[in-house]
Amino acid sequence: MFRQVFGHEFLGGWERFTYDEIETSTEFLDGTCLLYLDGFCDKDAFSAFYELYYDSIQQFVFNGGNLYINTQGEFYYGFDSVECIWNGSASAFIYDTLNPLVRGPFVVPFGYFSSDGGYFFNGSFSSPGEIDLLLRDTVPYGDDYPMVRFDWGQGEVVLSSFFQHKWEEVTEEYKNLRRNILYYLSGCVRGTQNAGIYHVLSPMPECNLTNAEELQVMVYNFGYDTIYNIDACYRIEGGTTTCELFPIILPPQDFDTLVFTTPADLSQCGYNTIEAWTQVPGDSDLYNDTLTHELLNICALLSDSGIPDTVCISAPIIQAKPQAGHGTWSGVGIIDEELGLFDPALVGEDNYSVITYSYDMPIDYTWYTIPYDMPDLIDPINVDVEDYDADSVAFGFDFSYFNQTFDHGYICSNGFLKLGYSWCVIWPAMATIPNIISLVGSNLIPAWAGDVWAETQGAAPNRKFIFYFEDVFSWEDWTTTVNAAAILYEKDGAIEFHTHRIPEVEAGGYWQYICNEDSTIYYKTLNLRDGANDTAFRFEPILCSRTITDTIFVTGDVSVPVLGNDTTFCPGGELT
- Structural domain includes residue 1: no
Q: Is 519 left (phi over 0), alpha (psi -120 to 50) or beta?
A: left
Please tell me the total number of residues recorded for the chain in this structure.
576
The DSSP secondary-structure symbol of 517 reads: T
In this structure, the answer to whether residues 180 and 231 fall within a common structural domain is: no
Q: Residue 497: what pLDDT?
A: 98
Helices of type H across 414-516: none
Highest-confidence segment of 170-184, 212-226, 299-313? 212-226
In this structure, the answer to whether residues 172 and 211 fall within a common structural domain is: no
- Structural domain includes residue 542: yes
Give the helix/strand (H/E) hosting 25: helix 24-27
**Total structural domains in the chain?**
3
Q: Residue 206: what pLDDT?
A: 78
Cα–Cα nearest to 216, from 240, 200, 233, 239: 200
In this structure, the answer to whether residues 62 and 181 fall within a common structural domain is: yes
Ordered DSSP codes for 136-198: EE-TTTS-EEEEEEEEETTEEEEEE-BS---GGGS-HHHHHHHHHHHHHHTGGGS-SS-EEEE
Cα–Cα nearest to 106, from 178, 162, 180, 160: 180
Give the tens place of pLDDT for each residue, 330-378.
999 999 998 899 999 999 999 999 999 988 888 889 899 999 999 999 9
Higher pLDDT, 264 or 47: 264
In this structure, the answer to whether residues 245 and 128 fall within a common structural domain is: no
What CATH number should be reported for the domain holding residue 153?
3.40.50
In this structure, the answer to whether residues 90 and 176 fall within a common structural domain is: yes
Among 135-149, 311-325, 516-530, where is mean pLDDT lowest? 135-149
Q: Does residue 6 carry a pLDDT above 50?
A: no
Give the tens place of pLDDT for each residue, 147-181.
899 999 988 999 988 875 555 556 677 777 777 88
Higher pLDDT, 300 or 478: 478
Give the helix/strand (H/E) hosting 353: strand 351-369
Q: Residue 113: what pLDDT?
A: 59
In this structure, the answer to whether residues 391 and 489 fall within a common structural domain is: yes
- Structural domain includes residue 87: yes
Q: Residue 499: what pLDDT?
A: 97
In this structure, the answer to whether residues 224 and 180 fall within a common structural domain is: no
- Structural domain includes residue 316: no
Using the 3D structure, point to which of 189, 224, 251 is the last residue of a domain. Answer: 189
- Structural domain includes residue 309: no
Q: Is 511 exposed, middle or buried (0-12, 13-18, 19+ CB in 10 A)?
A: buried
- Structural domain includes residue 430: yes
Q: Residue 23: what pLDDT?
A: 56
In this structure, the answer to whether residues 181 and 281 fall within a common structural domain is: no
- Structural domain includes residue 260: yes
Using the 3D structure, point to which of 170, 189, 208 is the last residue of a domain. Answer: 189
Question: What are phi and psi for residue 104, nearest 5 degrees?
Answer: 180, 170
In this structure, the answer to whether residues 524 and 397 fall within a common structural domain is: yes
Question: What are phi and psi for residue 42, nearest 5 degrees?
Answer: -140, 80
Q: Does residue 395 carry a pLDDT above 60?
A: yes
**Containing domain of residue 203, as a range?**
195-298
- Structural domain includes residue 564: no
Q: How far apart are CA 321 and CA 339, in angstroms?
A: 9
Residue 409 has, within 13 A of its CA and on its CB side, a CA count of 28
What CATH number should be reported for the domain holding residue 267?
2.60.40.10
Using the 3D structure, point to which of 189, 212, 240 is the last residue of a domain. Answer: 189
The pTM of the full predicted model, rounded to 2 decimals, is 0.57
In this structure, the answer to whether residues 120 and 227 fall within a common structural domain is: no
Give the tens place of pLDDT for each residue, 374-394.
999 999 999 999 888 899 999
Straight-line distance from the first to the last Cα atom of the chain, in angstroms, rounded to the nearest whole number:
89
CB 248 within 8 A of CB 229: yes
Q: Residue 111: what pLDDT?
A: 56
Q: Residue 524: what pLDDT?
A: 83
Q: Does residue 131 carry a pLDDT above 70?
A: yes
Give the tens place of pLDDT for each residue, 404-433.
889 999 999 999 999 999 999 888 877 678
In this structure, the answer to whether residues 98 and 201 fall within a common structural domain is: no
